[in-house]
Amino acid sequence: MEYVSVFVYGTLKPGGANFDRYCGTEVANIYRAYIYGELYDLPSLGYPGAIHGTSKVEGFVLQFANPQILIGLDVLEDYEPHRNPAANDYNRQAIAAYTSDRVVNPAVWAYFMNPELVRRNSGIRIADGWWHG
């Protein structure tokens, strides 16, 4: 079976504020993983944002049997694929995710925050790449 894989690093992580509502009953598999980027805490918003970069962003890959899961996640992340990317809060992109034993999943969706939003909301870089919110 082919799964839709989504890398999550914030409120969609297992135990996070949005996990049960958006993912809980739909998740087929979960595993720890990381991507490359820069992770920022956004205290005024109550959630993090990752942007492109070269550091590790720690989180989980959630695998779903139903590709329709992306519709709800796109709404949560304020991502419209046909809108100008600068107008989206987050942009969904296919990236590589890695596990601790260096296994690569080359086709994982991840939501990267618009860097302007990180700046405007006084994002605080999270050096260890793990959001504790």
**pLDDT digits 0-9 by tens, 9-21:** 999 999 999 999 9
Q: What's the rounded Cα separation, in Å, for the pair 50 and 131?
A: 10
Residue 29 lies in a domain: yes
Q: What is the CATH number of the domain that holds 82?
A: 3.10.490.10
Angle subtended at Cα 55 by Cα 49 and Cα 61, rounded to the nearest 5 degrees? 60
Number of domains in the chain: 1
Residue 56 lies in a domain: yes
- Which range of residues forms the domain containing residue 114? 4-125
pLDDT in tens, 20-42: 999 989 999 999 999 999 999 99
Residue 132 lies in a domain: no
* Adjacent-strand bridge partners of 58: 34
Q: What's the rounded Cα separation, in Å, for the pair 27 and 69?
A: 9
Residue 76 lies in a domain: yes
Contact residues for 133 (Cβ-Cβ < 8 A; gap 6+)? 10, 11, 16, 41, 46, 47, 48
Q: What's the rounded Cα separation, in Å, for the pair 125 and 21?
A: 27
- The amino acid sitting at 123 is G
pLDDT at 70 over 90: yes
pLDDT at 50 over 80: yes
Residue 86 lies in a domain: yes
